[in-house]
Amino acid sequence: MPDHDQELVDIALAKQGDIFSFNRLVGGYQTRAYNLSLRLLRDRDEALDACQESFLKAWKKLKDFKGGSFKAWMLKIVVNSCRDQQRKKKPTIPMDMDISSLATSVEEEALRHELEQEILKGLSCLNFGERSAVTLFDMEGLSYQEAAEVMSCPLGTVKSRLSSGRRKLRDFLLKSELLPSQFRPKSDVV
């Protein structure tokens, strides 16, 4: 049975109280939920807490799921849990996050890691709405419509936050010497 069909079966069974089916759903989304939480909260422990809270909320509210994109529904719960945690905490400095990539040399790997750290620092300069839009669209690969559903806001707001967030992130990265030349304006390239 294809993954989508299995997901539909698991949703139907979980709605009837089958914990094993719900656990299969959790297994399919836990990495994505954690990565999203980590990018939004920038703290491993808080990201784990937000994920745990998200899956508990999903279990309690699964009967309210009316169909459509389960991924968008689940990620909306994750974003809301992160927003709730964000409200409770004081601002922190972004932590080190390992995003794996294939590098052809040790030097490229070191540069990639430094650039990732600069991107994370840049993301921390964005407000929660902009950071959510950039993370959901550019990093998680959601469509504008799915991002709007997850963020509980109109499509135009997602586009506006995405544009603003990308612009601020670009401006932040332009100040860094790590930004590759192909992403710099022609006047900045030496």
pLDDT along the chain (190 residues), means of 10: 76 89 91 90 88 92 88 92 80 46 59 77 88 88 89 92 91 75 58
Tell me what pLDDT residue 88 has. Answer: 76
Residue 104 has what pLDDT?
53
Identify the domain boundary among 88, 121, 140.
88
Residue 93 lies in a domain: no
- With respect to residue 190, please indicate whether it lies within any of the assigned structural domains: no
Q: How many domains does the chain have?
A: 2
Q: What does each C-alpha distance from 170 to 22, 80, 91, 155 come to in angstroms?
A: 40, 26, 22, 22
Report if residue 95 sits inside a domain. Answer: no
Length, in residues, of the chain: 190
Rounded to whole angstroms, how far apart are CA atoms 179 and 166? 14
Do residues 69 and 148 make contact, with C-beta atoms less than 8 angstroms apart? Answer: no
Residue 113 sits in the same domain as residue 156: yes
Same domain (yes/no): 133, 167 = yes
Q: Is the pTM of this model over 0.85?
A: no
Tell me, rounded to whole angstroms, the distance of Cα 105 from its chain centroid: 28
| Residues of the domain holding 111 | 106-182
Is 83 within the bounds of a domain? Answer: yes
One domain for residues 76 and 137: no
Pair 146, 69: CB distance under 8 Å: yes
CATH number at residue 20: 1.10.1740.10
pLDDT score, position 81: 92
Residue 97 forms part of a structural domain: no
pLDDT score for 60: 92
**CA nearest neighbour of 88 among 136, 128, 55, 119:** 128
d(CA 165, CA 49): 26
